[in-house]
Amino acid sequence: MMAANENLPPNVIKQLAKELKNLNETPPEGIKVIVNDDGFSTIYADIEGPAGTPYENGIFRMRLLLSHDFPCSPPKGYFMTKIFHPNIATNGEICVNTLKKDWTPSLGLRHVLTVIRCLLIEPFPESALNEQAGKMLLEDYEEYARHARLYTGIHALKPKLKPETGVRSESTTGRNVDQKDTVCSGRALLPPNPLTVQDQNVVVVSATEPSVRAQAIQRKEGVVAVKAHVDKKRMDARKKSLRRL
């Protein structure tokens, strides 16, 4: 860290450390400063695309490069994430007055980062580094916004959290088990029949039961017929015996 900070005076390093600590504890809206373990000469930050702009839902990484005579001279700002914006060159260089003619040593990192985020809300096409974006913004805002959203979706879209797989809530698991039991149970699939309900238990009548009953009836009728035939023979035998007497 000392090698990276060799060009910065001790009092500047102390002030930067204080500023970074403050930015980390109370960050500006939509801005997250990333601590650089290599020193204070390069400051990194993630900027959220402001709502209602073509950069919404995007996260843009940028960096500020501090020269040896900082804060007498302004830092240089660069976007590391590709972005379609009039005031940001294709190489990421940022063009804003705060980092040029309007710079004063009293301006801190918080002010610089806030101004850069505001640039995403209100571009200045009159001082464009990206001429295509500046011209498009002036002539056809909808086309400009479409290009900017396309770049945001490709290069800066927030990663979506993937839902955990193989984890189900207890209620869902129980519901699935109940559904499975319902599907696998022949009783639950059949509608209740008032004629086959006994003690609130559903009795499923087999499709083959009517034929079984018919066979039983036929057998019973056959037994009755045989018995009648035997009885007739007995009566005839008794009649013959009486005639002999």
Active site residues: 95
Kindly state the tokens that stand for 124.
Answer: 């200045």
Contact 24, 35 (CB under 8 A): yes
Q: Which candidate, 70, 68, 55, 86, places its Cα nearest to that of 4?
A: 68
- Residue 241 CB-half CA count within 13 A: 6
CA distance 128 to 88: 8
Kindly state the tokens that stand for 209.
Answer: 């039961």
| DSSP state at residue 152 | I
Q: Where are the beta strands (DSSP E) in 59-190?
A: 59-65, 76-79
- Residue 135 CB-half CA count within 13 A: 3
3-state secondary structure of 44: strand
CA distance 35 to 144: 34
Contact 186, 207 (CB under 8 A): no
